[in-house]
A and B are shown apart, each in its own frame.
Chain A
Amino acid sequence: AQSVTQLGSHVSVSEGALVLLRCNYSSSVPPYLFWYVQYPNQGLQLLLKYTTGATLVKGINGFEAEFKKSETSFHLTKPSAHMSDAAEYFCAVSPTYSSASKIIFGSGTRLSIRP
């Protein structure tokens, strides 16, 4: 079975500061990993995904994440926060091999940006 734990339900950083959102996963098979963003009153949008290959994944809006198998982590980072980054961020996992697979989401981290 797969599961996702996001550490910190709320993270606040200053504009221009480093953004670090933490995600740890549990999976009995090699996982696919995702970060989604949800702006107020909108659906979720894919930021980036890891399937196979390079463990450092770059996404939209300057975000990136690194898959660390030994730590079962997939933390999301951005070097310099912008006011428009304020949103809810969800880490998600799905199994690589399943005929009836589904994506499992974490409980989310709300990112606030201070001027």
Chain B
Amino acid sequence: ETGVTQSPTHLIKTRGQQVTLRCSSQSGHNTVSWYQQALGQGPQFIFQYYREEENGRGNFPPRFSGLQFPNYSSELNVNALELDDSALYLCASSLDGGRNTGELFFGEGSRLTVL
């Protein structure tokens, strides 16, 4: 069974640039959630994708966008990067679609630094 994998693991961008982070969900999982974890903070929910549709969104501006592909992998795109976007971005997959009844399986994250 393949776990959740994220790429890249680390990257550095400058203000105003755009970034794309990628996530492969655990085998058989059809739901992907993205979280932002700032240093010393808990993960903050960005959005969730279920069957290629956005299925819930947290308090993040529209420059945070995403996609889910037919194989259930996902991308997180952030436009017009700001210094405060520096964080660990976590992807989590699950089986339950829109019903969060249980476990999220997390990847190890992509650490983004914005200079």
Contact = CB atoms under 8 A, between A and B. Distances in A.
Interface string A7-49: 0010000000000000000000000101010000111111001
Given A41-B108, A43-B4, A104 B45 contact: yes
Contact of A46 (B4, B41, B103, B108): B103
A102 B33 contact: yes
Contacts of A107: 40-42
A103 B105 CA distance: 12
Given A49-B102, A106-B42, A108-B42, A43 B56 contact: no
A46 B101 contact: no
B43 A105 contact: yes
Nearest to B47: A102
Contacts of A105: 35, 42-45
Interface residues of B, number: 26
Q: How large is the interface on A (under 10, 10 to 19, 20 to 34, 35 or more residues)?
A: 20 to 34
Contacts of A104: 45
B98 A43 contact: no
A100 B48 CA distance: 8
A110 to B, nearest CB: 9
B94 to A, nearest CB: 9
A101 B43 contact: no
A101 B58 contact: no
Interface of A: 4, 9, 32, 34, 36, 41-46, 49, 51, 90, 94-96, 98-108
22 contacts: A4-B42, A36-B104, A43-B90, A43-B109, A44-B104, A45-B106, A46-B103, A51-B101, A90-B42, A94-B100, A98-B98, A99-B99, A100-B55, A100-B98, A102-B33, A102-B45, A102-B100, A105-B35, A105-B42, A106-B42, A107-B42, A108-B42
